[in-house]
Amino acid sequence: MKTFLIFCCSFFILTSCSQVKVEQKEDFVALRRPQQLFILPFSTVMVPNAVSEGFFDRLVDNLNQGQATTGLEFVILKQDPQVIGTKWLSEHTYVAGEISAYVEDRGSTTVSLRAKTRLIYYAAGAAEPSLKLSYPAEVFYEKDYQTMDAARLQLAEKIADQLAQKLLETLAGS
């Protein structure tokens, strides 16, 4: 019972405090429609494939669902940015990002998964990013009720849902 109470209190505290942090430059301008927004693969370091792939797939799905409201076309670039080249990237609007600080804290009955994610928006012709979204996320679960794979997917979906929603809102000018 004590573990359950700790779990509930921690869950409430973390879910109420964890929001997407937005850093927006003064020169940020929402995209004119219709226009393409390219999505580069996110860099990851020591992040399980279930999290990185689950995140990217869900992010792209969410952005494509928002296509009707934004009028933007989202195009996935599957190549490494070094292969694409800096000249091409500087001429196009794109987002890139990273998933970092991934930690799995395993207790005797509960597990906590944490990660920090950053999405960076580069406008065509701009030398510096004009928008940065940061989102630290955490998921708790009890070993008796959920598997590690399910918790990893839950973390990936939580991050993707929050970042996609905030990006779509920002691009729409809300």
Highest mean pLDDT among 80-84, 136-140, 167-171: 136-140
Q: Roughly what angle, to the nearest 10 degrees, separates helices 148-172 and 49-65?
A: 30
SS3 for 39? strand
Whether the pLDDT of residue 48 is over 60: the answer is: yes
| pLDDT tens column, 114-159 | 999 999 999 999 889 999 999 999 999 999 999 999 999 999 999 9
This prediction's pTM: 0.84
How would you classify the pairing of strands 131-142 and 94-106?
unpaired
Place of tokens 């009955």: 109
How would you classify the pairing of strands 131-142 and 110-122?
antiparallel
Spatial distance between the Cα atoms of 6 and 8, rounded to a whole number of angstroms: 6
Q: What percent of the chain has pLDDT over 70?
A: 86
Name the fold adopted by 2-172: Rossmann fold (3.40.50)
pLDDT at 8: 44
